[in-house]
Structure 1
């Protein structure tokens, strides 16, 4: 399997959680983990959070993992982190 990663991660929030993002993400993780073929990952842009994991990130120990020179890996993308921090700050004032 070849994974080309440029993923912001899985969407967070009540809307997506009610829509089943955790269930759907778990199905993808299970499918990738159970695949008995060599796995190759190429990070061509950003690779963040659970999206990185689900698309055969380092935790899977795939056959090879290559990264473009401008590729980025993080727990959370910059926009998502800013949104979470703004929400936390707003909730603290309420």
Structure 2
């Protein structure tokens, strides 16, 4: 059984979110972790690429977030990440959600 974690994120640095810590906290229990960056312009992408260089389980994707009604852009991003997942089980981790044992 394989497990995939994923996170959509945009401007996590300027938002003050502990998104790197959130990702690192779940790496012991996942086979892969997918991150969709929604065109961040605050250094979030750079921080993510550095993290992915250290942790090979982390896979990064740039995804344009189109403003639309009812937050459909977020739904489309989540569905895209799920379609890329190799896990039998898939779960979302938000940028401010740090797991502990």
TM-score calculated relative to the size of structure 2: 0.35
Structure showing greater radius of gyration is 1
Q: Which has the higher helix share?
A: 1
Higher relative contact order (CA 8 A, sep 6+): 2
